[in-house]
Amino acid sequence: MATLRFYALKELLGRQPLYIDEPGKLVSDYFGKLVFDKPKMQKYLSKEAYNHLMDAIEKGTRIDRKMADSIALGMKSWALDNGATHYTHWFHPLTDATAEKHDAFVNTTSGGGVIESFSGSLLAQQEPDASSFPSGGIRNTFEARGYTAWDVSSPAFIVGTTLCIPTIFISYTGEALDYKTPLLKALAALDKAAVDVCHYFDKNVSKVACTLGWEQEYFLIDEALYLARPDLVLTQRTLMGHQASKDQQLEDHYFSSIPERVIAFMEDFEREAYLLGIPLKTRHNEVAPNQFEVAPIFEEANLANDHNQLVMDIMKRIARKHRFAILFHEKPFKGINGSGKHNNWSMLTDTGTNLLSPGKNPRTNMQFLTFLLNVMKAVYEHQDLLLASVLSASNMHRLGANEAPPSIISIFLGYELSKVLDELEESVPDKKMTPDQKTSIKLNIGKIPEILLDNTDRNRTSPFAFTGNRFEYRAVGSSANCASAMIVLNTIVANQLKAFKKEVDALIEKGIKKDEAILQTLKRYIKETKNIRFDGNGYSAEWVEEAARRGLYNIKSVPEAVHAYMKEKAVKAFTANDVLSEKELEARVEVELEKFTKKIQIEARVLGDLSINHIIPTAVSYMNKLIENVQGLKDVFGEGEDFKELVGDRLELIRKISSHIHSIKEKTTAMVNERKVANKEEDAHKKAELYNTKVRPYLDDIRYHIDKLELIVDNEMWPLPKYRELLFAR
């Protein structure tokens, strides 16, 4: 008998929900308790240090040495008061996870004892060894040392007994080795460019922040079953497994009542998240069995992203406590929905205006249309970059499968808003406007909020959908760091807003009135972006054809996608806005390619191992049982006609099993050989391409035969938990 699988199933029978102690009070009473936020800063810092820090947070001024020491002292006191014994710089290297190295506060004294100490220099900067993190070749050329430096815009927090200080991570020579550095730069670029454009409409705006509200999907699998699946443990997805007879076809999981064990888990991690000041708002069952979603209230993008990374980390930890394994992989199971991480994105002024929300009068609506169309133009011009920012070895399985948008970027506006744009295009003349024309355009623009108010139009198949007051970028993968997509989106929009400002200013120079200059430019954008507007079914095969006719990109693989980063117009956008240098871009491309290659390599190895050491031996054992049976019947009935009729089906089965075994062996050997060829390739790009085109197809090929065997082989002997078990145990 396949011991581990049945042991795991037995474990399941005894599972109980693990209820946590109720905090016994309102969330508002303990929300943010473990965050060094403004009220705590006020309490623990001198007035001078507090003001100094506020300037750094709000205006980006430098923190001097003396003040840093004073701030560190206050932060330490707060941390010790809340049970911390260690501190760490917490950063986002270019891997799938965050990084931390804990140091104790203790320091020896001359008297032979120890005291708790922490200094401004330890708070502000540390030097982790960069050579153990992906750097895309940057570290080879220079020293291995890297720096982490405090990001004052995201508050420190305590996890367990460790004070975590959010930091950026850069190389010895100053290149970004993380997600946060370019994200902060892209946000700064957007801020500047958007403020400049806002001044056409409102001189009071002095800051524009990008807002991000992520929706995180995930699967929960019972821990015992998970541990009995080496493919899940090592690759986070099932490399084999025949579809269960029932999965999501009855549509009975989405929004249905949440299973007890899962609710207990959710309450537990939500409580931790609230202590860390993460404003979680929504939880529900998703479409696939054992698939769920969590979403917070949106925040400024840098903080929102830190919170997303932190939540993922907390969820992994808390899941174990509840004897679950959590899967953030984009497609852990073939044939059912995968997981995404929708990025709801907008821009917010310091005067409180959401720039993607229609306003109350013609002026604010002009502002809304300006930002809307600039976003559309940026997305149109840089579709390939947006795709590159979300494609990964794992998300490749999800995009274009039947539950996610294809690898084509299109924008959904909805019927009403589309009509507004079309009418605007019609009504703005190419020559100077008459007063009548002006009045009528203004009147129409003034009507936008009413039009959108009635507009409940929603399209869940669009990768980039306007949802009334924000865009929802839905192609982002569930395991991704949101920053990857946010760096690109904010950079291209900043770049576009700058171009817009230049164009409008040039028209104003020529003597055209400001409003007219803006309208003329917008009219051109409406024309130029028409091809990317699509309100139909983004999951349909027709759309793929239609998009090709429209000349839209359809980029399906990582090696193909990363080219976008090195195209002249992309390099220009990144460098002109001081987000990433050409060298940093090259490094990032290298990192993406390496990650891709390694992931496919790992999957190929795991599948090879499982095929040879688990599946084939099982199939052979079952075949031997059949052979024994046939032999026994022959002993009883002799070799006559009777016998042939009796064993016909079993002989057929033996042949089938034998043939699948043969195919698996043959293909596994061929896959290993392709890997050997690919591994000799020095060029990262060519290597990734080989892994994509030569190695990757074998994963499906081999799986096909294994899944067929699963249908034939005695259930008692099958070693790996089946889909029905993985997906319905809860």
Segment near ligand ADP (CB under 6 A), from 98-106, 178-186, 210-218, 245-253? 210-218
Do the Cβ atoms of 558 and 392 come closer than 8 Å?
Answer: yes
Q: Is 382 in the site for Mg ion (CB under 5 A)?
A: no
Q: Are strands 341-349 and 324-327 parallel, antiparallel or unpaired?
A: unpaired
Using CB under 6 A, count the residues that bind ligand ADP: 16
Backbone angles phi, psi at 723, to 5 degrees: -55, -45
Non-local (6+) Cβ contacts of 564 within 8 A are 382, 384, 385, 387, 388, 555, 570
Place of tokens 């949106």: 298
Q: 38 CB contacts (<8 Å, ≥6 apart)?
A: none
Quick check: 74 binds ligand ADP (CB under 6 A)? no
Kindly state whether residue 213 participates in binding ligand ADP, applying the rule CB under 6 A. Answer: yes
| Range list of H helices, 407-459 | 415-427, 435-446, 448-453
Please, what is the minimum distance in Å from the beta carbon of residue 675 to ligand ADP? 41
Are β-strands 114-116 and 291-296 bridged in parallel, bridged antiparallel, or unpaired? unpaired
Structural contact between residues 156 and 80, judged by C-beta atoms closer than 8 angstroms: no
Q: How far is the CB of 17 from ligand ADP (least distance, A)?
A: 25
Which among ligand ADP, Mg ion, none contacts residue 406 (Cβ within 5 to 8 A by kind)? none
469 contact choice in Mg ion, ligand ADP, none (CB below 5 to 8 Å, kind-dependent) = ligand ADP
- Residue pair 220/258 in contact by the 8 Å Cβ criterion: no
Identify the residue among 89, 331, 470, 501 touching ligand ADP (CB under 6 A). 470
CA angle 219, 225, 228 (to 5 degrees): 125
When binding is defined by CB under 5 A, the residue of 342, 398, 501, 675 that contacts Mg ion is 342
| Structure-block tokens of residue 330 | 């984009």
Q: Closest distance between ligand ADP and the C-beta of residue 402, in Å? A: 19
> Please, which residues have CB within 8 angstroms of residue 119's CB and are 6 or more apart in sequence?
68, 69, 72
Nearest distance from C-beta of residue 475 to Mg ion, angstroms: 12
From the CA atom positions of the chain, what is the Rg in Å?
Answer: 29
Asked if residue 351 binds ligand ADP (CB under 6 A), the reply is no
631, exposed or middle or buried, with CB in 10 Å at 0-12, 13-18, 19+?
Answer: exposed
Closer of 247 and 472 to ligand ADP (Cβ): 472
In whole angstroms, the minimum distance from the beta carbon of 212 to ligand ADP comes to 6
- By beta-carbon proximity to ligand ADP, the closer residue of 93 and 405 is 405
Nearer Cβ to ligand ADP, position 282 or 537? 282
Among residues 413 and 610, whose Cβ is nearest to Mg ion? Answer: 413
Among 153, 444, 469, 581, binds ligand ADP (CB under 6 A): 469
Quick check: 346 binds ligand ADP (CB under 6 A)? yes
* Minimum CB distance to Mg ion, residue 215 (Å): 5
Stretch that binds ligand ADP, among 95-103, 247-255, 341-349, 363-371 (CB under 6 A): 341-349
- Least Cα distance to 709 among 658, 657, 667 occurs for 657
Least Å from the CB of residue 264 to ligand ADP? 22
Q: Min. distance of Cβ 342 from Mg ion in angstroms?
A: 4
Does 211 bind ligand ADP (CB under 6 A)? Our answer is yes
Contact pattern from residue 288 through residue 307 relative to ligand ADP, giving x for each residue in contact according to CB under 6 A and a dash for the rest = -------xxxx---------
- According to CB under 6 A, which residues from 244 to 283 bind ligand ADP? 282
Which residues from 196-215 bind Mg ion, rule CB under 5 A? 215
Partner whose footprint covers residue 296, from Mg ion, ligand ADP, none (CB < 5 to 8 Å by kind): ligand ADP
Find the binder of ligand ADP among 88, 337, 344, 389 (CB under 6 A): 344
- The one-letter code for the residue type at 242 is H
For residue 167, what is the enclosing H or E element? strand 162-171
The least CB distance from residue 306 to ligand ADP, in Å, is 15
341 interacts with Mg ion by CB under 5 A:
no
Q: For ligand ADP, which stretch binds (CB under 6 A), given 99-107, 311-319, 464-472, 568-576? A: 464-472
> 399 near 485, Cβ under 8 Å?
no
Phi/psi region, residue 715 (left: phi>0; alpha: psi -120 to 50; beta: rest), is: alpha
Residue 453 vs 677, nearer CB to ligand ADP: 453
The residue number with the shortest CB distance to Mg ion is 342
Please tell me the distance from the alpha carbon of residue 203 to that of residue 220, in angstroms, as a whole number: 50
Copy the structure tokens of residue 78. 């707060």
**Residue that has been written with the tokens 């982490």 in this structure:** 148
Residue closer to ligand ADP by CB (options 219, 298) is 298
**Strands 464-466, 411-412: pairing kind:** parallel
Name the minimum Å distance from CB 471 to ligand ADP.
9
CB closer to ligand ADP, 344 vs 481: 344
* Burial category of 706 from C-beta neighbours within 10 Å (exposed 0-12, middle 13-18, buried 19 and up): buried
Which residue lies nearer to Mg ion by CB, 333 or 345? 345
SS3 214: strand
Residue 291 · residue 201 · CB < 8 Å: no
Rounded to whole angstroms, how far apart are CA atoms 242 and 720? 11
Residues whose CB is less than 8 angstroms from the CB of residue 655 and which lie 6 or more positions away in sequence, other chains included? none
C-alpha to C-alpha distance for 446 and 455, rounded to whole angstroms:
16
Residue 130 contacts which entry, Mg ion, ligand ADP, none (Cβ below 5-8 A, type-dependent): none
CB of 213 to ligand ADP, least distance (A): 3
| Rounded Cα gap, residues 258 and 262, in angstroms | 7
Cβ 208 to ligand ADP, closest distance in Å? 12
Residues that bind Mg ion (CB under 5 A): 215, 342
Residues that bind ligand ADP (CB under 6 A): 211-213, 215, 282, 295-298, 344-346, 354, 469-470, 472
